[in-house]
Amino acid sequence: MVRGAIVAESLRVGAVIEEVPLVVHKLERIDAGLEEQPPRWTLLWFEAADADADRLAEVLADALEARGGWYADFHTETHVTVVFSGRIFRYRRGDQSERAEVEEYARSVGVPDEQLDWAE
């Protein structure tokens, strides 16, 4: 199983997440936005089949807003996937060198340091 979270406000207007079965385990409203992001977010905590991980990453890369420092992340027992608009990163859990590369890219597209907190 892959497990992760999507911020509903990170989806661009008109985007649709479909063709990948997701089981939503929790919906949560939080105060988390910084800079140009909306101050309150809706988090959708989900699971999906391992076999759907690549397709999910592709769908998210197409659906995420390019501006505002948005990303979505999910992980398996062995790998972490971090998705930005038009860009997908996948690395082995615990690989600090690979994580640092993703963090560098995240900063370059506007993700504040306080939000570089995806799960390992």
Q: What is the pLDDT of residues 62-102, one digit of tens each?
A: 999 998 889 999 999 999 999 999 999 999 999 999 999 99
Mean of the pLDDT values across residues 94-116?
A: 94
Residues, the chain, total? 120
Beta carbons of 55 and 20 less than 8 angstroms apart: yes
pLDDT at residue 87, as a whole number: 98
Amino acid at 91: Y
What gap in Å lies between CA 44 and CA 99, rounded to an integer?
23
pTM of the model: 0.92
Three-state secondary structure call for residue 18 = coil
Q: What is the pLDDT of residues 5-43, one digit of tens each?
A: 999 999 999 999 998 999 999 999 988 767 777 778 899
pLDDT at residue 33, as a whole number: 67
Tell me which of 36 and 113 has the higher pLDDT. Answer: 113
Contacts of 92 by beta carbon, 8 Å cutoff, 6+ apart: 78, 79, 80, 98
Give me the DSSP letters along 13-60.
TT----SS--EEEEEEEEE---TTS-SEEEEEEEEE-GGGHHHHHHHH
What gap in Å lies between CA 42 and CA 116, rounded to an integer?
18
